[in-house]
Structure 1
Amino acid sequence: MNAGISIHVVDVATGKVAEGLAIRVERLKEASRELICTGRIAANGLFVELTDHSPMFEPGQYEVCLDVADFYRAQGQQLPRVPFLDVLVYRFGLDDTQQHYHLPFKLTAWGLSCFRGGA
Protein backbone atom coordinates (compact mmCIF):
# COMPACT_ATOMS: atom_id res chain seq x y z
CA MET A 1 0.00 0.00 0.00
CA ASN A 2 1.30 3.46 -0.90
CA ALA A 3 2.03 6.18 1.62
CA GLY A 4 -0.69 8.77 2.16
CA ILE A 5 -4.26 8.74 3.36
CA SER A 6 -7.30 6.76 2.29
CA ILE A 7 -10.86 7.14 3.57
CA HIS A 8 -13.71 4.62 3.43
CA VAL A 9 -17.22 5.34 4.77
CA VAL A 10 -19.95 2.79 5.52
CA ASP A 11 -23.46 3.60 6.73
CA VAL A 12 -23.74 0.83 9.30
CA ALA A 13 -27.46 1.49 9.80
CA THR A 14 -28.12 0.17 6.28
CA GLY A 15 -25.02 -1.95 5.83
CA LYS A 16 -24.13 -0.04 2.65
CA VAL A 17 -21.35 2.34 1.72
CA ALA A 18 -22.17 6.03 2.17
CA GLU A 19 -22.15 6.77 -1.56
CA GLY A 20 -22.62 10.48 -2.22
CA LEU A 21 -21.61 11.69 1.24
CA ALA A 22 -19.86 15.06 0.85
CA ILE A 23 -16.42 15.20 2.43
CA ARG A 24 -13.42 17.50 2.58
CA VAL A 25 -9.90 17.23 3.96
CA GLU A 26 -7.98 20.22 5.31
CA ARG A 27 -4.49 20.69 6.73
CA LEU A 28 -4.34 22.80 9.88
CA LYS A 29 -1.56 25.34 10.01
CA GLU A 30 -0.63 27.69 12.84
CA ALA A 31 -3.05 30.46 11.92
CA SER A 32 -4.88 29.06 8.90
CA ARG A 33 -6.28 26.06 7.09
CA GLU A 34 -5.40 24.65 3.69
CA LEU A 35 -8.01 22.77 1.70
CA ILE A 36 -6.44 19.55 0.41
CA CYS A 37 -9.49 18.29 -1.48
CA THR A 38 -13.25 18.01 -1.48
CA GLY A 39 -15.63 15.57 -3.09
CA ARG A 40 -18.05 12.72 -2.42
CA ILE A 41 -17.81 9.10 -1.35
CA ALA A 42 -17.83 6.84 -4.43
CA ALA A 43 -19.93 3.72 -5.10
CA ASN A 44 -17.14 1.57 -3.61
CA GLY A 45 -17.20 3.57 -0.36
CA LEU A 46 -13.86 5.28 -0.96
CA PHE A 47 -13.02 8.97 -1.14
CA VAL A 48 -11.26 8.62 -4.49
CA GLU A 49 -10.50 12.34 -4.93
CA LEU A 50 -7.96 11.98 -2.13
CA THR A 51 -5.80 9.54 -4.12
CA ASP A 52 -4.25 12.26 -6.28
CA HIS A 53 -3.29 14.36 -3.27
CA SER A 54 -1.03 11.92 -1.39
CA PRO A 55 2.17 13.85 -2.27
CA MET A 56 0.69 16.91 -0.52
CA PHE A 57 0.69 15.30 2.91
CA GLU A 58 3.37 16.32 5.36
CA PRO A 59 3.60 15.79 9.11
CA GLY A 60 0.96 17.77 10.97
CA GLN A 61 -2.67 18.05 11.96
CA TYR A 62 -5.54 17.42 9.53
CA GLU A 63 -9.32 17.44 9.61
CA VAL A 64 -11.83 15.36 7.72
CA CYS A 65 -15.26 17.00 7.54
CA LEU A 66 -18.24 14.78 6.70
CA ASP A 67 -21.64 16.31 5.85
CA VAL A 68 -23.59 13.74 7.84
CA ALA A 69 -26.99 15.45 8.21
CA ASP A 70 -27.18 16.42 4.52
CA PHE A 71 -26.34 12.83 3.56
CA TYR A 72 -29.06 11.28 5.71
CA ARG A 73 -31.66 13.84 4.68
CA ALA A 74 -30.85 13.06 1.02
CA GLN A 75 -31.49 9.38 1.87
CA GLY A 76 -34.97 10.33 3.09
CA GLN A 77 -34.24 9.92 6.79
CA GLN A 78 -36.17 12.23 9.08
CA LEU A 79 -33.78 14.11 11.34
CA PRO A 80 -34.50 16.64 14.07
CA ARG A 81 -34.43 20.32 13.05
CA VAL A 82 -31.11 20.49 14.90
CA PRO A 83 -29.44 17.17 14.03
CA PHE A 84 -27.29 15.28 16.50
CA LEU A 85 -24.51 15.02 13.87
CA ASP A 86 -24.49 17.78 11.28
CA VAL A 87 -21.02 18.40 9.88
CA LEU A 88 -18.82 15.91 11.64
CA VAL A 89 -15.22 17.08 12.12
CA TYR A 90 -12.58 14.40 12.72
CA ARG A 91 -9.13 15.76 13.61
CA PHE A 92 -6.09 13.52 13.34
CA GLY A 93 -2.32 13.82 13.07
CA LEU A 94 0.25 12.46 10.66
CA ASP A 95 3.72 11.87 11.99
CA ASP A 96 5.38 9.55 9.45
CA THR A 97 4.25 10.40 5.92
CA GLN A 98 6.06 7.34 4.56
CA GLN A 99 3.32 5.20 6.11
CA HIS A 100 -0.24 4.73 4.91
CA TYR A 101 -3.05 6.06 7.10
CA HIS A 102 -6.43 4.48 6.35
CA LEU A 103 -9.48 6.02 8.03
CA PRO A 104 -12.44 3.59 7.96
CA PHE A 105 -15.49 5.54 9.13
CA LYS A 106 -18.51 3.56 10.36
CA LEU A 107 -21.41 6.00 10.49
CA THR A 108 -25.05 6.50 11.43
CA ALA A 109 -27.00 9.73 11.92
CA TRP A 110 -26.38 9.23 15.64
CA GLY A 111 -22.81 8.02 15.95
CA LEU A 112 -19.41 7.33 14.49
CA SER A 113 -16.55 4.91 14.80
CA CYS A 114 -13.13 5.42 13.23
CA PHE A 115 -9.62 4.15 13.85
CA ARG A 116 -6.26 4.25 12.14
CA GLY A 117 -5.90 1.34 9.77
CA GLY A 118 -3.36 0.67 7.05
CA ALA A 119 -0.27 0.73 9.25
Structure 2
Amino acid sequence: MNAGISIHVVDVATGKVAEGLALSIERLTGTNRELICAGQIAANGLFAELSEHSAVFESGHYEVSLDVADFYRAQGQQLPRVPFLDVLVYRFGLDDTQQHYHLPFKLTAWGLSCFRGGA
Protein backbone atom coordinates (compact mmCIF):
# COMPACT_ATOMS: atom_id res chain seq x y z
CA MET A 1 0.00 0.00 0.00
CA ASN A 2 1.28 3.48 -0.87
CA ALA A 3 2.07 6.14 1.69
CA GLY A 4 -0.64 8.68 2.37
CA ILE A 5 -4.15 8.64 3.78
CA SER A 6 -7.27 6.66 2.91
CA ILE A 7 -10.74 6.98 4.42
CA HIS A 8 -13.55 4.40 4.40
CA VAL A 9 -16.96 5.06 5.98
CA VAL A 10 -19.61 2.46 6.87
CA ASP A 11 -23.05 3.21 8.26
CA VAL A 12 -23.17 0.41 10.83
CA ALA A 13 -26.86 1.02 11.53
CA THR A 14 -27.68 -0.27 8.03
CA GLY A 15 -24.56 -2.34 7.37
CA LYS A 16 -23.90 -0.37 4.17
CA VAL A 17 -21.19 2.02 3.10
CA ALA A 18 -22.04 5.69 3.63
CA GLU A 19 -22.23 6.50 -0.08
CA GLY A 20 -22.83 10.21 -0.63
CA LEU A 21 -21.60 11.36 2.80
CA ALA A 22 -19.87 14.71 2.28
CA LEU A 23 -16.48 15.24 3.90
CA SER A 24 -13.34 17.31 3.69
CA ILE A 25 -9.78 17.11 4.96
CA GLU A 26 -7.63 20.05 6.05
CA ARG A 27 -4.02 20.45 7.14
CA LEU A 28 -3.52 22.47 10.35
CA THR A 29 -0.38 24.58 10.72
CA GLY A 30 -0.37 26.89 13.72
CA THR A 31 -3.52 28.97 13.39
CA ASN A 32 -3.82 28.31 9.63
CA ARG A 33 -6.00 25.73 7.89
CA GLU A 34 -5.41 24.50 4.35
CA LEU A 35 -8.13 22.59 2.53
CA ILE A 36 -6.57 19.49 0.96
CA CYS A 37 -9.75 18.19 -0.68
CA ALA A 38 -13.51 17.82 -0.31
CA GLY A 39 -16.01 15.44 -1.81
CA GLN A 40 -18.25 12.48 -1.04
CA ILE A 41 -17.90 8.85 -0.08
CA ALA A 42 -18.10 6.69 -3.21
CA ALA A 43 -20.17 3.53 -3.79
CA ASN A 44 -17.25 1.40 -2.53
CA GLY A 45 -17.18 3.35 0.77
CA LEU A 46 -13.90 5.14 0.02
CA PHE A 47 -13.09 8.84 -0.18
CA ALA A 48 -11.59 8.60 -3.67
CA GLU A 49 -10.48 12.25 -3.88
CA LEU A 50 -7.63 11.50 -1.46
CA SER A 51 -5.79 9.33 -4.00
CA GLU A 52 -5.13 12.44 -6.09
CA HIS A 53 -3.50 14.23 -3.13
CA SER A 54 -1.19 11.62 -1.60
CA ALA A 55 1.92 13.69 -2.38
CA VAL A 56 0.74 16.69 -0.31
CA PHE A 57 0.67 14.95 3.05
CA GLU A 58 3.46 16.12 5.31
CA SER A 59 4.13 15.34 8.95
CA GLY A 60 1.66 17.31 11.03
CA HIS A 61 -1.94 17.62 12.15
CA TYR A 62 -5.05 17.18 10.01
CA GLU A 63 -8.82 17.30 10.42
CA VAL A 64 -11.48 15.31 8.64
CA SER A 65 -14.96 16.87 8.76
CA LEU A 66 -17.90 14.54 8.06
CA ASP A 67 -21.39 15.97 7.42
CA VAL A 68 -23.17 13.35 9.52
CA ALA A 69 -26.57 15.00 10.11
CA ASP A 70 -26.98 16.01 6.45
CA PHE A 71 -26.15 12.44 5.37
CA TYR A 72 -28.73 10.84 7.66
CA ARG A 73 -31.41 13.39 6.82
CA ALA A 74 -30.80 12.67 3.11
CA GLN A 75 -31.37 8.98 3.93
CA GLY A 76 -34.79 9.90 5.34
CA GLN A 77 -33.86 9.43 8.99
CA GLN A 78 -35.70 11.68 11.43
CA LEU A 79 -33.18 13.54 13.58
CA PRO A 80 -33.77 16.03 16.38
CA ARG A 81 -33.79 19.71 15.41
CA VAL A 82 -30.38 19.90 17.06
CA PRO A 83 -28.70 16.63 16.05
CA PHE A 84 -26.39 14.76 18.38
CA LEU A 85 -23.75 14.52 15.62
CA ASP A 86 -23.94 17.35 13.10
CA VAL A 87 -20.55 17.99 11.49
CA LEU A 88 -18.14 15.54 13.03
CA VAL A 89 -14.56 16.82 13.24
CA TYR A 90 -11.85 14.19 13.70
CA ARG A 91 -8.34 15.53 14.36
CA PHE A 92 -5.34 13.26 13.88
CA GLY A 93 -1.62 13.49 13.31
CA LEU A 94 0.82 12.06 10.79
CA ASP A 95 4.34 11.40 11.96
CA ASP A 96 5.97 9.06 9.44
CA THR A 97 4.87 10.11 5.95
CA GLN A 98 6.40 6.96 4.46
CA GLN A 99 3.60 4.93 6.05
CA HIS A 100 -0.02 4.59 5.01
CA TYR A 101 -2.68 5.90 7.41
CA HIS A 102 -6.11 4.35 6.88
CA LEU A 103 -9.08 5.84 8.76
CA PRO A 104 -12.01 3.37 8.83
CA PHE A 105 -15.01 5.25 10.24
CA LYS A 106 -17.90 3.16 11.60
CA LEU A 107 -20.80 5.56 11.95
CA THR A 108 -24.38 6.05 13.10
CA ALA A 109 -26.33 9.25 13.74
CA TRP A 110 -25.52 8.74 17.43
CA GLY A 111 -21.88 7.68 17.54
CA LEU A 112 -18.74 6.59 15.76
CA SER A 113 -15.64 4.49 15.94
CA CYS A 114 -12.37 5.10 14.16
CA PHE A 115 -8.83 3.82 14.54
CA ARG A 116 -5.59 3.96 12.63
CA GLY A 117 -5.29 1.12 10.16
CA GLY A 118 -2.95 0.51 7.26
CA ALA A 119 0.35 0.59 9.13
Superposition TM-score tier, normalisation by shorter sequence: over 0.9
Percent identity over paired residues: 86
Counterparts of 1:108 and 1:31, CA distance in 2:
31
User: 1:87 is aligned with what amino acid?
Assistant: V
User: 2:93 is aligned with what amino acid?
Assistant: G
Aligned to 1:107: 107
Q: TM-score, normalised by structure 2?
A: 1.00
Q: TM-score, normalised by structure 1?
A: 1.00
Number of positions where the alignment pairs a residue of Structure 1 with one of Structure 2: 119
Which string of whole-angstrom CA distances, capped at 9 and with x for unpartnered residues, describes residues 14-41 of structure 1?
A: 0000000000000001121000000000
Moved over 3 A (4+): none
User: 2:40 is aligned with what amino acid?
Assistant: R
Counterparts of 1:34-53 in structure 2, within 5 Å, are 34-53=34-53
Counterparts of 2:25 and 2:51, CA distance in 1:
12
Aligned to 2:2: 2
Counterparts of 1:69-88 in structure 2, within 5 Å, are 69-88=69-88
The alignment yields a C-alpha RMSD, in angstroms, of 0.3
Listed as ranges, the gaps of 5+ residues in structure 1 are none
User: 2:92 is aligned with what amino acid?
Assistant: F
